[in-house]
Amino acid sequence: MDERPFWKTKSLEEMSPSEWESLCDGCARCCLNKLEDWDTGEIVWTRVACTLLDDESCRCKDYDNRAVTVPDCIQLTPAEVRTLTWLPPTCAYRLVREGQDLYWWHPLVSGDSETVHQAGISVRGRTVPEDGMPLEDYEQHVVMWPGEAPEDG
């Protein structure tokens, strides 16, 4: 019997719903608004958070109904993960897609949902809410860290 963890033995498509959901490390980087340069297609990250993001827990306030409240919320599926270019380099879905292992701070590796925050990977305490902010002001909140990978620790 193979003793390796499921993310090393299964493709994204082979995962059960609970395995799929457990891949999310709770960093909430994907819940940050991104801007795309219309001419180059380049994506830049902002620290402007989705209206449903709880900045403290780094979880969606209404996960089951998020697409109703936020119609442009992208629900990650294996097909989406295979095409999205903006997934953070730390994202477990992206790492599995690329055949890489999860980082030491991922809750599936560490056994602790707080390590993603302790390692400084999550957006906890680093966001501003999108509520009431004009889209043209998003450029004032461009940040580089969501698109960066941490040093291995």
Condensed to tens digits (0 to 9), the pLDDT of residues 93-112 reads 999 999 999 999 999 999 99
- For 104-141, give one letter per residue: b (16+ CB within 10 A) or e: ebbbbbbeeeebbbebebbbbebbbebeeeeeeebeeb
CA distance 101 to 139: 33
pLDDT on residue 147: 86
Are 122 and 27 in contact by the 8 Å Cβ rule? The answer is yes
Compute how many other C-beta atoms are within 10 angstroms of the C-beta atom of residue 87.
Answer: 20
Q: What does the pLDDT average to over 121-128?
A: 96
Q: Tell me, yes or no, if the pTM score tops 0.75.
A: yes
H or E element that contains 26:
none
Locate 11 and state its tokens.
């493709």
Flag whether pLDDT at 150 surpasses 80.
no
Q: Which of 14, 24, 9 is nearest to 122 (CA)?
A: 24
Res 151: pLDDT: 63
In which band, very low, low, confident or very high, does the pLDDT at 153 lie, cut at 50, 70 and 90? very low
